[in-house]
Structure 1
Amino acid sequence: MQFDELNVAVREFCESRDWGQYHTPKDLAIGLVTESSELLELFRFKDRTEQLELLAESEKREDIEDELADILFFLLRFADLYDIDLEAALEQKLEKNGKRYPENEYKGSNEKYDE
């Protein structure tokens, strides 16, 4: 599915359940953070090897995929309801970050641009 198809699927899913009343910007932002925290919890206290093992194990990988899908759901719903073009927003952000983090200065570095 493309973004447009995903947006329609999420919109129809929510409309058929009358969930629009619960989808204020604040509540959708809370949903994004909550689901992101659930993803993070799966990796809590795991070293790199253990993290990769989670991704290799089918049941744990499904849990990770479920959390990523939940995050995407809230992201798409927010963007759809409040007329945010995610593709354009990402392109603009990549351009901004390209200026903040020139490749020749930041390649292989994890420093923030203002450090």
Structure 2
Amino acid sequence: MGGQQGDERDESGMDISLKDLSRKLEEFAKARDWEKYHSPRNLLLAMVGEVGELSEIFQWKGEVARGLPNWEESDKEHLGEELSDVLLYLIRLADICGIDLGDAAAKKIVKNASKYPAKLF
């Protein structure tokens, strides 16, 4: 899966790559004999469920300021957990589909830069 992801850190505070997360997810699934359930369809539906949970956090808050300055730490922690759930399912889905997510994302950024040149916006 691609290179380093800026704010993802492992337990020691070190940067953690998509490949590291992918490896940990695979080990987690194997240890629990969950691989048989990790079909693309099942992983996608699980991720959509997590996106729903993420949406509920913002549902009645209206617009919120960048950095969430008025949020309680417990709300920010909950947000981090739900964002992580979505990310982890996305990584696992990409792996099961044989997609190098880091590479695909890097290529998409280049494609978007070409499609939407800064000088026009």
- The 1:87/1:49 distance shift into structure 2, 3 A limit, reads closer
Task: Give the match for residue 62 of structure 1.
Answer: 77
More strand by share: 2
Count of residues paired in the alignment: 105
Q: How does 1:4-15 map to 2 (within 5 A)?
A: 4-15=19-30
Cα distance, 1:82 vs structure 2? 2.2
Unpaired segments ≥5 residues, structure 1:
107-115
- Read off the aligned partner of 2:109 and give its amino acid letter: L
- Read off the aligned partner of 2:21 and give its amino acid letter: L
Q: Percent identical across equivalent pairs?
A: 35
> What's the CA shift string for 1:72-99, capped at 9, x where partnerless?
1101111222221111101111111112
- The 1:91/1:49 distance shift into structure 2, 3 A limit, reads closer
Most deviating of 62-71 and 80-89? 80-89
Q: How does 1:1-115 map to 2 (within 5 A)?
A: 1-49=16-64, 52-53=68-69, 56-106=71-121
Looking at structure 1, the residues matched to 21 and 55 of structure 2 have their Cα atoms a distance apart, in angstroms, of 24
More helix by share: 1
Q: TM-score, normalised by structure 1?
A: 0.81
Cα distance, 1:53 vs structure 2? 4.8
RMSD across aligned C-alpha pairs, in angstroms? Answer: 1.8
Looking at structure 1, the residues matched to 95 and 21 of structure 2 have their Cα atoms a distance apart, in angstroms, of 10
Task: Give the match for residue 8 of structure 2.
Answer: none
Q: Which runs of 4+ in 1 moved over 2 A?
A: 47-54
Q: TM-score, normalised by structure 2?
A: 0.77
